[in-house]
Amino acid sequence: MDAITILVAEDDELVQATVEDALSESGFETTLAGSGEEAIALLKDGKSFRAIVTDVNLNDKLDGWEVARAARELDPTMPVIYMSGTHTDDWASKGVPKSIMLAKPFAPAQLVTATAQLLNASPLAE
Amino acid sequence: MDAITILVAEDDELVQATVEDALSESGFETTLAGSGEEAIALLKDGKSFRAIVTDVNLNDKLDGWEVARAARELDPTMPVIYMSGTHTDDWASKGVPKSIMLAKPFAPAQLVTATAQLLNASPLAE
Amino acid sequence: MDAITILVAEDDELVQATVEDALSESGFETTLAGSGEEAIALLKDGKSFRAIVTDVNLNDKLDGWEVARAARELDPTMPVIYMSGTHTDDWASKGVPKSIMLAKPFAPAQLVTATAQLLNASPLAE
Amino acid sequence: MDAITILVAEDDELVQATVEDALSESGFETTLAGSGEEAIALLKDGKSFRAIVTDVNLNDKLDGWEVARAARELDPTMPVIYMSGTHTDDWASKGVPKSIMLAKPFAPAQLVTATAQLLNASPLAE
Amino acid sequence: MDAITILVAEDDELVQATVEDALSESGFETTLAGSGEEAIALLKDGKSFRAIVTDVNLNDKLDGWEVARAARELDPTMPVIYMSGTHTDDWASKGVPKSIMLAKPFAPAQLVTATAQLLNASPLAE
Amino acid sequence: MDAITILVAEDDELVQATVEDALSESGFETTLAGSGEEAIALLKDGKSFRAIVTDVNLNDKLDGWEVARAARELDPTMPVIYMSGTHTDDWASKGVPKSIMLAKPFAPAQLVTATAQLLNASPLAE
């Protein structure tokens, strides 16, 4: 079967590795964006991502909240998973509907289950 | 029993009347804000609202998306119901988590059910 | 505001009256179909219904299960509410996804809440 | 159609009246129990209740938590709605699964929506 | 602990292998049916399956929609997962309630999460 | 990232091993309590558990129902997963709200998905 590619927006290399390992061991492909701007450029590039996993803090003008909003403007059904250690409380005011906030630290299984749950809830795939 | 007061942010007088009638006939009190700025001032005023119903379009610098975000910053568990005729598609990118978008036109029962459902889902009241 | 019209497929006049009263008192318009064939003809006629309420038993070649499937083929997001006294157990094998089965007898509020809940869960209106 | 009877366990006459009015105006019948013991006696009596609405505080040896557990032992699918002004926080440890806690004060529409929602979620009726 | 056996109805050997690997690595046993008729024969045989995973297209008189309906007639609580590349849109009209549609291609984790989610939602086991 | 520790209350060594393996392979740490009393002592000890997995039967004065209630009294948002072979029917009357009952036998993936689902639904972490 073809690849299911998840866009991962994360600037911390350690977290990048953890996230990529968890997703690839579960059968997902990943494309990495080291900044919010790179994430949005990739989204606009026409490549077909099935979900986005984004850190809230990105060493960048654009944070994860803005990346998720941009992703949803391009595709209103895009599954969104946020990761944050210190900004989980802001999810209620800054998150998008039907997204999941993973409070750091989290186990790899939480990320995989969150991604699969959101994908399975929107079966009207391309 | 005491009053359950819902903040209604709406600048159109006809819709104001419809919303207030629907909510008051179902046993809710309403406080009306004719603009986004008035809504946020009322929220900050310390008065205790149990939910907010807001039009997306407000003849104002602040739209309903911003009113809802401000409400959730003050109280992350605040039930939020949006109403819109033309901007329902923006809900996926601009709405807050666990909110409800009512597409205009809607029946009064939809507003009442939406309000009651969100209130009943967050039982950890004041 | 404009009308929200619900298609009601029911051949029993007493139930027709109960359903129409419950929905109209809650602010919905109703269009009545006395048979499954009439219901499907109305659905294909291009008139815009926001939900369908159908008895399972219709004195007809077509039953409510078939009416609902036809409605969902025309509009995959159409809210569907079934009513039945004796066939509620068949819902698990014959119902469509994300529909509601109302076991007769039911209170008018159950019908209104079911309709409003399903409408509020699919905000991407016409 | 036949009656849908809700068992209401409440010892405060003012709340009794509010609850009975809200439910009967929405098409439900109610049977009143003025104490937890009376509620459990009625449940065991073989009369068929479709849901139970119970205050947490009952001037009695038995509180609402115990009434709900007894109701669920007799019928594991029984819809349960609790009402409480001061014990809402105990719901997480003392409530039964898939029940709803209504924090007092609440609007009549909240009670009606809660009852209808739980009834509609368990269609495998009587 | 004893085996949890999932019935897999799939006629494509490559997909068979992917599905069986994903499920067995997650601790499930699988029984394979290469056609819809074989699937229904196995279901009627009295063997106890805890869930069914079925392709929609089966080189056969019976497709996955019919297999799922037959499974639900025998056991109304049977968890159902459909897989399809081209017929995902038909799920809204042909699927059974509370089922999950996996759009191909999907990652193994999506299948495992779907199966576990549905099993965990119906705790009233054999 | 730091550890996510799950409290496991289980007196059967075979099940202990199965549960610990499933959780640790998915990235969770586990702390084992061989009795209900030990589980409650650990909960009160101030150590920070992110979820509790408890057998219903514990060779002890305290069963899993009581352990879960004690855990929820200390932290009303604590995710709770019960495991039982013979008492799954009691969950409706003895379980706590928003918990999951795993009927034995279950596959490791069911436990991992249940744990991840409940953790992901309560993002307002420490």
Summarised one tens digit per residue, pLDDT across range A15-73 is 999 999 999 999 999 999 999 999 999 999 977 899 999 999 998 789 999 999 999 99
Euclidean distance between CA atoms A32 and A12, whole angstroms: 11
- Look up residue F29 and give its two tokens: 């740490």
Q: Exposed/middle/buried for B99, CB within 10 Å: 0-12, 13-18, 19+?
A: buried
pLDDT of E125 reads: 34
Does any CB of chain E come closer than 8 Å to the CB of residue A115? Answer: yes
Chains touching D (3+ CB pairs < 8 Å): B, C, F
Give me the half-sphere count of Cα atoms (radius 13 Å) on the Cβ side of residue A108.
19
Q: Whole-angstrom Cα distance, residue C24 to residue B1?
A: 29
Reported as a pLDDT band with limits 50, 70 and 90, residue F117 is: very high
Interval F56-100: pLDDT, tens: 999 878 999 999 999 999 999 999 999 999 889 999 999 999 999
Buried b (16+ CB within 10 A) or exposed e, C25-53: ebbbebbbbbbbbbbbebbeeeeebbbbb
Contact call for A4 and E102, based on CB within 8 A: no
Instruction: Please return the burial class of E62, using the count of CB atoms within 10 Å of its CB with bins 0-12, 13-18 and 19+.
Output: middle
The residues facing E6 across adjacent strands are E30, E51
D104 touches chain B (CB under 8 A): yes
At residue D29 the predicted structure's pLDDT band, cuts being 50, 70 and 90, is very high
Residue A116 contacts B, CB cutoff 8 Å: no
Tell me the chain C residues in contact with residue B107 when contact means C-beta distances shorter than 8 Å: 4, 26-28, 116
Q: D and F: touch, per 3+ CB pairs < 8 A?
A: yes
pLDDT tens figures, C78-121 = 999 999 998 899 999 999 999 999 999 999 999 999 999 999 98
Closest CA to C35 of C15, C19, C54, C14: C54
**How far is B9 from A43, CA to CA, in rounded Å?**
34
Answer yes or no: is pLDDT of D126 > 60: no
- Do the Cβ atoms of E55 and E74 come closer than 8 Å? no
Q: With an 8 Å Cβ cutoff, are A91 and B97 in contact?
A: yes
**Closest residue of B to D117, CA-based?**
B117
Q: Please give the distance of CA A123 from its chain centroid, rounded to a whole number.
A: 18
Chain A residue with the nearest C-alpha to that of B100: A97
**What was the pLDDT predicted at A93?**
97
- Report CB contact under 8 Å: C72, E89: no
Q: Is the pLDDT of residue D32 over 50?
A: yes
* Predicted local distance difference test score (pLDDT) of residue A47: 78
Among residues C77, F107, F25, which one has the least CA distance to residue E93?
A: C77
Residue F125 predicted with pLDDT over 80: no
F109 with E2: Cβ contact below 8 A? no
**Angle at the Cα of D4 from the Cα atoms of D2 and D6, rounded to 5 degrees:** 155
Residues of D in contact with B3 (CB under 8 A): 105
* pLDDT of res. D122: 61
Average pLDDT over residues D59-85: 94
Question: pLDDT tens for residues F7-53?
Answer: 999 999 999 999 999 999 999 999 999 999 999 999 999 778 999 99
Chains A and D lie in contact, requiring 3 or more CB pairs less than 8 Å apart: no
Question: Is D48 in the C-facing interface, judged by CB distances under 8 Å?
Answer: no
With beta carbons under 8 A apart, name residues in chain A contacting F2. 105
Nearest-angstrom CA–CA distance, B72 and B60: 20
Query: CA-CA distance, E78 to E4, in Å (whole number)?
Result: 13
Contact: B26, D107; criterion CB under 8 Å = yes
126 residues of chain B, pLDDT tens digit each:
578 999 999 999 999 999 999 999 999 999 999 999 999 999 999 778 999 999 999 987 899 999 999 999 999 999 999 999 988 999 999 999 999 999 999 999 999 999 999 999 864 433
Confidence band (pLDDT; 50, 70, 90) for A123? very low
C-beta neighbour count of A44 within 10 angstroms: 11
Q: Say which residue the tokens 């036809």 belong to.
A: C70
Q: What is the pLDDT of residue C125?
A: 34
Q: Do chains E and F touch (3 or more CB pairs under 8 A)?
A: yes
pLDDT (0 to 100) of residue B122:
62
Closest C-chain CA to D121: C100
pLDDT at residue F124 is higher than 60:
no
The pLDDT, as a whole number, for residue C47 is 78
Residue E79, preceding bond cis, omega within 30 degrees? Answer: no
**pLDDT reported for residue C61:** 86
Q: Residue ranges of chain E with pLDDT lower than 70?
A: 1, 122-126
Least confident of C66-70, D85-89, F44-48: F44-48
Predicted ipTM of the assembly: 0.92
pLDDT at F2 (0 to 100) = 73
The helix/strand/coil state of F84 is strand
Residues of C in Cβ contact (< 8 Å) with D109: none
- What is the pLDDT averaged over residues A78-104? 95
Q: Percent of chain A scored above 70 by pLDDT? A: 95
